[in-house]
Structure 1
Amino acid sequence: MERFEEEFEKLLEEQKATATGQRSEMLNRNLTGTKLLLKNLLLPVFGKSDGIVLEYEMKGPSGVMIFGDAGLPSLRIIVEEDHFVTHAEKVTRDRFSFERARARSVAVNGFVYFPFSRDELEKKPEESQRSLYELLGRIGTKEGTGLMKLPVYERELLRCAWLRGQTFRLGDVSEWLLLGKETCRKIIAEMQKKELVCSVGGSPKRCYEFHVSEKALQLLLKLI
């Protein structure tokens, strides 16, 4: 419990330090629901908070900024905690319509909208975790997607990098694919040509880290 509190506060302070405008205000409100979301769902599933963006900000079709409790941008998923009292029992008609419009805006931005009730997170955390695991599994394994047309090593590299949710190195790829680094270097180079993987830092001759490209994410999420 104490360890979680420390990790959550560290994550919150790090994100407050870089937040501006309305997102900064959102991060300074009561985040009880978001905290529960991390404790009983996201951290048990992913094991760490890397890649999780609190109060993820995006622009709706009308230009109004909308926020999701927790964004997983590398996976294109918005996860939310909805309290029955504030989101159902006492909601006005206007608020109800706004919530539906907000969910549509998330979809328009190319994200999967994945909400949980507070009761589910508190009383059925294991079931909630299984639900998220199922989403992660199905997104990356649907037959007929462009992903399935890739060579098996490229496909597995993308799946592993996607589930990792952050940048990766040559050594990581070698562990994932059980291949030598020189072979993995050739696989990465080929994927760079296909614009499936992008380099981060380093130099034109030597790249230290990589991340999954937007094009690869679209294959994973069947957006094209």
Structure 2
Amino acid sequence: MADHLAHRFGERKGRLLRGHNFAEKLLLQNVWWPLFGNFDNLHPEYEIYDWNRKSQFLDFAFLTPYGRFGIECDGFQSHIKEMDREKFSYALNRDTFLTGMGWKMIHFSFDDIQHRPEICRMLLQLVIGPHMLQNAPSSAISISPEEKEVIRFAINLGKPIRPKDLTSQCGINFRTARKRLHSLAEKGILRPIGRGTVTRYYELKPDAWRCLL
């Protein structure tokens, strides 16, 4: 904070003094620090501009060579209960605009930051982890890009996956689809479901999403 204050002037400095409150500090304490252990490339109360060149401030901006991430702490009272239709529309449009400008926006509720920080850490890692090329894989198991595609598809599918699901989704033949599913089962990421020696479906095991990091 002292370093950022020393390099800011005018409203950018005033915003940091006024806007960095309990929720933002709690996010650093409960979510960011346990996950990263440093504040490198993290900027509090970061100024951005909307499509009308109107100045706005993100709670945090994580600026890296592999992507720009906007992180917001949303309290129910200030962001929902006291928000009128115009402010609600603007908030959605702003996020869409920033997405178009290359930002990846991440929102956490104050209740989760305070009472369920492990959920916030998991989601933050899921979003930022794949972009952190210098990070070691979370598992010693080698997962190919094609297998990661299968895992993402299985997560979005929301039910046990079959080889025929992959053939239509990925444009591959039945034998290749079955081979990829079998490989993920051997690596302990999928659980075969069937009768006897015949496998009909594959089910994602808990924490399979970690293989995407």
Unaligned runs of 5+ in 1: 1-11, 141-158, 165-224
Q: Of the candidates 79, 82, 88, which is equivalent to residue 71 of structure 2?
A: 79
Q: Of the candidates 67, 83, 107, which is equivalent to residue 115 of structure 1?
A: 107
Q: Secondary structure at the match of 1:76?
A: strand
Code of the residue aligned with 1:29 in structure 2: it is R
CA distance in 2, matches of 1:101, 1:32: 27
CA distance in 2, matches of 1:102, 1:19: 24
Q: How does 1:118-133 map to 2 (within 5 A)?
A: 118-133=110-125
Code of the residue aligned with 1:99 in structure 2: it is A
Write out per-residue CA displacement over residues 156-189 of structure 1, whole angstroms, 9 at most, x where no aligned residue.
xxx11xx59xxxxxxxxxxxxxxxxxxxxxxxxx
8 A Cα contact 1:103 1:113, kept in partner: yes
Q: Of the candidates 39, 58, 61, which is equivalent to residue 51 of structure 2?
A: 61
Counterpart position of 1:22:
11
Code of the residue aligned with 2:128 in structure 1: it is L
Please report how far the alpha carbon of residue 57 of structure 1 lies from its aligned counterpart in structure 2 after TM superposition: 1.4
Q: Provide the TM-score with structure 1 as the length reference.
A: 0.55
Q: Secondary structure at the match of 2:48?
A: strand
Please report how far the alpha carbon of residue 79 of structure 1 lies from its aligned counterpart in structure 2 after TM superposition: 0.8
Q: How does 1:152-163 map to 2 (within 5 A)?
A: 159-160=133-134
CA distance in 2, matches of 1:62, 1:138: 32
Structure with bigger strand share is 2
Structure of higher CA gyration radius:
2
Write out per-residue CA displacement over residues 178-222 of structure 1, whole angstroms, 9 at most, x where no aligned residue.
xxxxxxxxxxxxxxxxxxxxxxxxxxxxxxxxxxxxxxxxxxxxx
Counterpart position of 1:101:
93
Q: Secondary structure at the match of 1:50?
A: coil
RMSD of aligned residue pairs (Cα, Å):
1.9
Q: Secondary structure at the match of 1:54?
A: strand
Structure with bigger helix share is 1
The number of residues matched between the two structures is 133
Mapped pair 1:41 → 2:31: yes
Runs of 4+ in 1 over 2 A off after TM superposition: 136-140
Residue identity (%): 27
Q: Provide the TM-score with structure 2 as the length reference.
A: 0.58
